[in-house]
A and B are shown apart, each in its own frame.
Chain A
């Protein structure tokens, strides 16, 4: 069974700082995908970044990047130059290719302080 663990329930950082959100996962699959989703106060789920497990190169999307350590089953999210609009719940998630289900971690509530 897949599990996703986020050990930081809540974090606060000053605007413009860099913050790293932690995530570990467990799966017995060889083909899987990892995601970071953002859920702002509107509660709309927004895909921030995704990583295919077979790719060694870490995914990046503008200010967002991941540190994917496959052997350690770790998938952390780094937000550079944080902005007030980054304030949200962030969910780490894992999906398997064979049934397309996504399993979510418990989330990290991130506050960007002015």
Chain B
């Protein structure tokens, strides 16, 4: 089946620094990827839709200047959390839309801790 990877799996950074999370579709091309945020014991909250070669579409309430998304190729989307603060600590999950299908394939997630 389709595999999506995320790197890193967990990261700790200091407040005020930026951190980049990568999402890769390993065995298929994904023109569309999605970024979610999940708080402990809560549901997935869609942050943005990442489209290859164009600007990401952000959900209401998500700061696009804080959460920079780049989808430079058909297999890679990156989420950069800029000037991170402790409240940005969370579990970030990406998914990729399978080529020719409406099914989303999820990455294993990245746990971000901002100290």
The answer to whether A33 and B102 touch (CB under 8 A), given A43-B91, A105-B43, is yes
* Interface range for A: 20 to 34
Residue in A closest to B105 when the chains form the complex, CB atoms: A47
* Interface range for B: 10 to 19
Which of chain B's residues have a CB closer than 8 A to the CB of A46? 106
From residue 25 to 68 of chain A, which have CB atoms closer than 8 A to chain B? 33, 42-47, 50
CA separation between A101 and B44, bound complex, in Å? 12
Count of inter-chain pairs, beta carbons less than 8 A: 45
CA separation between A45 and B49, bound complex, in Å? 18
- Report yes or no: B102 in contact with A47, Cβ–Cβ below 8 A: no
Q: Does A97 contact B (CB under 8 A)?
A: yes
- Cβ-neighbour of A104 out of B32, B43, B97, B102 (below 8 A): B43
CA separation between A46 and B107, bound complex, in Å? 10
- Report yes or no: B104 in contact with A44, Cβ–Cβ below 8 A: no
User: A residues bordering B, Cβ < 8 Å?
Assistant: 33, 42-47, 50, 91, 95, 97, 99-107, 109
